[in-house]
Amino acid sequence: MAYSFFTGAACGLLLLAAVRISIGHKRRDSRWLVVLLLGIFCYLLAPLLSNQDFHVRLLVSLPTILIPGAFWLFTHQLCSDQETFPKWGWGIIAAGLAIDFASQLNLHHFFYLSAQPFKLGLIGAGLATLLQQLQSDLVAERRQLRIALLIAIGGYMLIVVCAEFLFSFLPTPAGIPTLHAVTATLLAFGACFWLLSLSPKALEDSLPPASTGPEVDETPQKTPEPLDEHQRELLARLQEHMAAGGYRHTGLTIRELAEQLDAKEHVLRALINKHLGFRNFNEYLNQYRIDEASQRLADPDEAHLPVLSIALDIGYRSLSPFNAAFKRRHEKTPTEFRRDALPT
Give φ, ψ of 99 to 5 degrees: -70, -40
Give φ, ψ of 46 to 5 degrees: -55, -45
Instruction: Provide the pLDDT for residue 108.
Output: 80
113-119 long-range contacts (CB < 8 A, ≥24 apart) are 116/161, 116/164, 116/165, 118/68, 118/92, 119/68, 119/161
Instruction: Provide the pLDDT for residue 27.
Output: 67
Instruction: Provide the pLDDT for residue 77.
Output: 85
Q: CA-CA distance, 129 to 148, in Å (whole number)?
A: 14
How far CA 237 is from CA of 109, 246, 279, 320, in Å, comes to: 64, 11, 20, 31
Yes or no: say if 286 and 300 are a contact pair by the CB < 8 Å rule. Answer: no
Instruction: Provide the pLDDT for residue 269.
Output: 92
Instruction: Provide the pLDDT for residue 220.
Output: 45
Question: pLDDT means per 10 residues in the chain (344 residues)?
Answer: 77 79 70 85 80 76 89 86 84 92 84 87 89 83 79 82 81 81 81 70 70 46 72 92 93 92 92 89 93 94 92 93 92 92 78
Instruction: Provide the pLDDT for residue 79.
Output: 81
Establish how many alpha carbons lie within 13 A of residue 305's alpha carbon, considering only the half-sphere containing its beta carbon: 18
Instruction: Provide the pLDDT for residue 18.
Output: 78
